[in-house]
Amino acid sequence: MTTSTMAHDEVVPFSRQLWESTASAHGSAETSTNMAKLVKGELSRDAFIAMQRQLYFLYQTLEQEMAANLDDPIIKAFHDERLDRTAALSADLLALTGEIPDADEIDPVTAKFCELIRSTAKEWAPALIAHHYTLYLGDLSGGQQIRGVVEGAYGIGKESGTAFFYFDELGDLAEFKNQYRSALDEIGFDADQRKRFIEEVHASYALSSALVAELEL
């Protein structure tokens, strides 16, 4: 590592470095065909339900792994049950389809994503927070915009299919996100750990995008 890289890492808060180095991945995810359709209310109701069914498996895995790794101080610091989405997704799917999916209904992309989360947790637990960050901060950002579109497009609400998008217990979401970013800054990762974490965020963006891309148009 060069001296200038070291100086950069020390000066730039990690949350900012993370955002800067993943901004283009975010841009690709945001503008991918199905995401663009979802944001415009043009994704079919069936495709939306198919997406939420896969997210059910994904969040269940992430939330199980977070809970299973609480002996790691970094996981403990970020673990917050108010973020958990499994129960909300179950309620939404019951309201929308009358059932929650069986384990064998997981798609290959989602299965790969869940496997990555599990193997990451075994390899270096703090990298789980990379997935935590990508999924929950996304839900607290673009997800809030998507909620209104989805409710308008499919004529549903919190009690009938969009509980996933509601984080009432968190209060002011902008404030929560600021605190989350400060917590990232306070972890004190060294340059190699920052790099490893950022790579994991890239993997999370790639799989999130693939999950949305495979939906039937």
Contact pick of 19, 21, 101, 191 for ligand HEM (by CB under 6 A): 19
CB of 146 to ligand HEM, least distance (A): 6
Return the number of the residue (141 or 160) whose C-beta is nearest ligand HEM: 141
Amino acid letter, 84: D
CB of 174 to ligand HEM, least distance (A): 6
Classified as helix, coil or strand, 203 is: helix
Contact pick of 142, 166, 193, 213 for ligand HEM (by CB under 6 A): 142
Return the number of the residue (95 or 183) whose C-beta is nearest ligand HEM: 183
Contact pick of 56, 78, 189, 205 for ligand HEM (by CB under 6 A): 205
Binding pattern for the stretch 166-185 against ligand HEM, x by CB under 6 A and - elsewhere: -----------x--------
Nearest Cα residue to 69 out of 105, 115, 35, 117: 117
CA distance readout (Å), 208 to 30, 38, 114, 131: 11, 14, 11, 10
CA distance readout (Å), 96 to 49, 52, 92, 148, 164: 8, 10, 6, 17, 12
The upper half-sphere exposure of residue 38, i.e. CA atoms within 13 Å in the direction of its Cβ, equals 25
CB of 2 to ligand HEM, least distance (A): 26
Q: Which residues contact 14 (CB under 8 A, 6 or more apart)?
A: 184, 185, 187, 189, 194
Q: Does 147 bind ligand HEM (CB under 6 A)?
A: no
CA–CA separation, 89 vs 94, rounded Å? 8
Return the number of the residue (95 or 153) whose C-beta is nearest ligand HEM: 153
Per the document, the length of the chain is: 217
Question: Which range touches ligand HEM (CB under 6 A), out of 1-9, 53-61, 75-83, 134-142?
Answer: 134-142
Judged by phi (left if over 0) then psi (alpha if -120 to 50, else beta), residue 102 lies in beta
Q: Does 141 bind ligand HEM (CB under 6 A)?
A: yes
Question: Which range touches ligand HEM (CB under 6 A), out of 6-14, 15-23, 67-75, 103-111?
Answer: 15-23
Contact pick of 134, 154, 162, 197 for ligand HEM (by CB under 6 A): 134
CA–CA separation, 72 vs 68, rounded Å? 10
Q: Which residues contact 173 (CB under 8 A, 6 or more apart)?
A: 140, 144, 167
Which residue ranges make up the site for ligand HEM (CB under 6 A)? 15, 18-19, 26, 29-30, 35, 39, 133-134, 137-138, 141-142, 145-146, 177, 205, 208-209, 212
